[in-house]
Amino acid sequence: MTATEPAGFLPPELIRLAVTSLIVMGFVFFNSILLGYLERKLAGWFQRRPGPMEVGPQGLLQLIVDGVKLVGKQIIIPREAAKPLFLLAPLLAFMPVGIAFIVVPFSNRLQVRDLDVGLLFIVAIMSFNVMAILIAGWGSNNKYSLFGAIRAVAQNIAYEIPMLLSLLAVVLMANTLSMRGLVLAQGRLWNMIVQPVAFLIYFIAGLAETHRAPFDLPEAESELTAGFHTEFSGMAFSFFFLAEYTHMFFVASIAVVVFLGGWSGPPLPWIDYTGIVWFMLKVYALLFIMIWIRWTYPRVRFDQLLNFCWQYLIPFALVNLLVTAVVVKL
């Protein structure tokens, strides 16, 4: 479809927009509910507990009930808080969630739009999250929120560098920034095998980007109550919750696209569409590892967090990039 074609009653572009945004929003909620359930269930199993058991068979309906409860709750705005900022923050956290789905290639043909700068686009949109956290922390008029927000900013600035450097090494090889192009450029040998160091660095930095344990300093319970979302309740809190879990999904899906061959896998019928099965399997395998890591390691100290990034991840990412550049040139 080109834009110059005469539009009918409803331009197809509009239908496409409506349908995809409906699917994306549905998926955002479904993914958060599924991940929330998996997180609690796996947390239980890692500690030899059963996890949620009471609501529905094996506690399956627990997260849905939790969601209904959160929607029904009042949003309390602290008296001295900056009200516009306080209300803007959860929306700003939720906004990139819908937009970044545009470039995720679920399968060869299941992609909303294949942008030429897809990878750059998704990384840029994802980093909006830290802005939302800063506004949330600043607007709450609460010292814990502000501390959490400051930590989040320092952490994200530090970890964005190795993340981008490790992705850049792959981009140098594939010679494209389009998400679909990156998958197609891999062929039989996944980039995880060609670029193991970059994959490891990306994954660690990705964990830090999503503020998950052991890098969950912005919301360290024992020190900061709940960090930047201390003052948020009801739907405002659930926006942060949805954003966090969708953020995890993006980090995992970028890893799958760039390092794990995207939708490629053993052939299935209609592989152009059913590639989504392999894509989702890989994404959820990575998400399982993220949950596994969370329930294994204690939280790092803030100086350890930054030292690890500046002393190990960035030098290694730079050396990796240099070696890749030289090899590609040869």
Nearer to other proteins, 27 or 46 (CB): 46
| Rounded-to-integer distance, Cα 196 and Cα 190, Å | 10
In Å, how far are 10, 29, 237, 318 from 24, measured between CA atoms?
21, 9, 20, 36
Task: Kindly state whether residue 284 participates in binding other proteins, applying the rule CB under 8 A.
Answer: no
| Rounded-to-integer distance, Cα 256 and Cα 253, Å | 5
List of residues 6+ apart from 156 with CB closer than 8 A: 127, 130, 208, 209
Task: Kindly state whether residue 295 participates in binding other proteins, applying the rule CB under 8 A.
Answer: yes
Nearer to other proteins, 54 or 80 (CB): 54
Sole binder of other proteins in the list 297, 301, 310, 323 (CB under 8 A): 297
Q: Exposed e or buried b for every residue in 86-122, given b needs 16+ CB within 10 A?
A: bbbbbebbbbbbebbbbbbbbbbebbbeebeebbbbb
Task: Kindly state whether residue 30 participates in binding other proteins, applying the rule CB under 8 A.
Answer: no
**CA torsion through residues 67, 279, 158, 114, sign:** negative
Binding range to other proteins, per CB under 8 A, among 39-47, 84-92, 135-143, 184-192: 39-47
| Rounded-to-integer distance, Cα 164 and Cα 123, Å | 8
Tokens 């958060």 belong to 32
Nearer to other proteins, 30 or 297 (CB): 297
Kindly write out the interface string for residues 43-62 of this chain, putting x where it contacts other proteins by CB under 8 A and - elsewhere: -xxxxxxx--x---------
Binding range to other proteins, per CB under 8 A, among 23-31, 41-49, 96-104, 164-172: 41-49
Task: Measure CA 249 to chain center.
Answer: 4
Nearer to other proteins, 41 or 247 (CB): 41
Which residues between 53 and 112 bind other proteins (CB under 8 A)? 53
The size of the chain, in residues, is 330
Nearer to other proteins, 48 or 329 (CB): 48
Nearer to other proteins, 115 or 293 (CB): 293
Task: Kindly state whether residue 312 participates in binding other proteins, applying the rule CB under 8 A.
Answer: yes
Residues near other proteins, by CB under 8 A: 42, 44-50, 53, 292-293, 295-297, 311-312
